[in-house]
């Protein structure tokens, strides 16, 4: 661990490089389920297990959107959770990556004709990475997170 004390005025290239390096090497993830069947949530837990271990990329699941770099969303967006989702999206600091995970988040899946479903996630907030599957395998989740990390380091 090292400490850097710099008077940051916005034009310091060294601080920008350190910031990009930290975003690339230790992205924090905020997971939010918008009301699906919890199959995707169980697969996230499997991806965190020692067999797959996405923590080897420095990823940590955080409980607050204000501490996150990656916003991971599962489930279809329903009317009750739509405003809460938009508020949470606004709380994630820039630069941020939004990952839509599972068939429900991508296309509302089996909840397509439900009366309370507003639509897929990308009609509510902008999405950067899509992870298809019902539920997606842990390998696909890790691949999607790596693609998110690559996009995050380019921002």
Burial class (CB in 10 A: 0-12, 13-18, 19+), 80: exposed
User: What is the number of domains present in the chain?
Assistant: 1
Q: Model's pTM, two decimal places?
A: 0.81
Question: Assign residue 45 a region: left if phi > 0, alpha if psi is -120 to 50, beta otherwise?
Answer: alpha
Residue 42 lies in a domain: yes
- What pLDDT does 12 receive? 66
Residue 34 lies in a domain: yes
CA neighbours closer than 13 Å in the CB half-sphere of residue 24: 11
| CA angle 84–119–132, rounded 5-degree value | 100
Average pLDDT, the chain: 82
Evaluate whether 27 touches 149 at the Cβ level (below 8 Å).
Answer: yes
* Domain range for 45: 13-154
Residue 5 lies in a domain: no
Residue 6 lies in a domain: no
Structure tokens at 50: 């020692």
Residue 2 lies in a domain: no
Residue 117 lies in a domain: yes
Residue 4 lies in a domain: no
Domain with 123 in it: what CATH number?
A: 3.40.50.12280
Residue 8 lies in a domain: no
Average pLDDT over residues 125-135: 90
The residue ranking higher by pLDDT, 67 or 19, is 67
Tell me the sheet residues that pair with 73.
32, 100
- What pLDDT does 1 receive? 47
Q: Sorting pLDDT into bands at 50, 70 and 90, what band is 88?
A: very high
How far apart CA 42 and CA 101 sit, in angstroms, is 12
């Amino acid at each position: 661990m090292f400490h850097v004390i710099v008077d940051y005025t916005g034009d310091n290239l060294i601080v920008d490089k350190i910031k990009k390096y930290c975003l690339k090497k230790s992205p924090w993830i905020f997971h939010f389920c918008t009301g699906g069947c919890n199959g995707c949530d169980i697969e996230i837990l499997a991806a965190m297990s020692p067999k797959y271990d996405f923590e080897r990329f420095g990823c940590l699941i955080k409980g607050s959107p204000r501490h996150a770099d990656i916003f991971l969303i599962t489930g279809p967006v329903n009317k009750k959770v739509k405003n809460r989702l938009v508020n949470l999206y606004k709380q994630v600091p820039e630069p941020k990556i939004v990952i839509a995970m599972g068939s429900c988040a991508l296309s509302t899946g089996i909840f397509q004709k439900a009366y309370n479903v507003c639509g897929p996630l990308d009609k509510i907030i902008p999405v950067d990475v899509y992870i298809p599957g019902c539920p997606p395998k842990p390998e696909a989740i890790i691949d999607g997170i790596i693609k998110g990390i690559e996009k995050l380091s380019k921002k």
